[in-house]
């Protein structure tokens, strides 16, 4: 974990994300992709660091916080709090955060497209995936207008 001094306070890098050191731990870690409100509350209770400011934590506490975020199963977090239950490829329950979350979403979409699943076809076509009606909605950016021919110079008048 790195610490950088800024104008308004410390910026602390935790799990591939720059976090504001002025905020309490519970609020600051919500800026990490894959960590929401419930997950941040659970992490702050497990670590016992909820009301402390992020900049006041020692290096050991920051390391422990990163370990809890990356491996919550080791710290007896309930399985329903994980964001990747019954992973399609490995079949395990895990929690992904930061760039691993973006990669997991992208690979899931590519797999759906490759297997020609209904959701994959809809994603590839840029249409709504979850059953919304398309008659009046989802029309933005889809039109292909008529191309206008180039203006020709005016013909010379006969005298």
Position 6 pLDDT exceeds 50: no
Q: How far apart are CA 54 and CA 2, in angstroms?
A: 12
Take residue 76 and report the two structure tokens written for it. Answer: 């007896």
More confident site: 122 or 90: 122
The gap from C-alpha 9 to its chain's centroid, in whole angstroms, comes to: 25
Residue 7's pLDDT band, with cuts at 50, 70 and 90, is very low
Residue 88 near residue 108, CB atoms below 8 Å: yes
Which CATH class name applies to 2-81? mainly alpha
Confirm whether pTM is higher than 0.75.
no
Instruction: Over range 139-154, report the average pLDDT.
Output: 72
Element of type H or E holding 103: helix 99-114
Give 61-107 pLDDT, tens digit per residue.
999 999 999 999 999 899 999 988 888 788 888 888 888 889 999 99
| Count of residues making up the chain | 159
Percentage of residues of the chain with pLDDT beyond 70:
91
Q: Average pLDDT in the 20-25 region?
A: 90
* Mean of pLDDT values over 106-125: 94
Q: Quick check: 128 pLDDT over 50?
A: yes
Confidence of residue 144 (pLDDT cuts 50, 70, 90): low
């Amino acid at each position: 974990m790195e610490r950088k001094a800024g104008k308004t306070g410390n910026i602390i890098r935790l799990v591939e994300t720059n976090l504001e050191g002025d905020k309490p731990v519970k609020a600051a870690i919500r800026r990490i992709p894959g960590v929401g409100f419930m997950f941040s509350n659970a992490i702050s209770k497990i670590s016992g660091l909820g009301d402390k400011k992020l900049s006041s934590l020692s290096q050991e506490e920051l390391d422990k916080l990163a370990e809890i975020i990356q491996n919550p199963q080791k710290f007896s977090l309930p399985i329903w709090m994980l964001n990747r239950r019954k992973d399609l490829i490995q079949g395990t329950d895990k929690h992904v955060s930061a760039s691993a979350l973006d990669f997991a979403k992208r690979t899931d979409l590519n797999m759906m497209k490759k297997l020609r699943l209904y959701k994959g076809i809809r994603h590839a076509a840029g249409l709504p995936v979850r059953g919304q009606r398309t008659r009046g909605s989802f029309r933005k950016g889809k039109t292909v207008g008529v191309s206008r021919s180039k203006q020709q110079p005016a013909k010379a008048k006969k005298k």
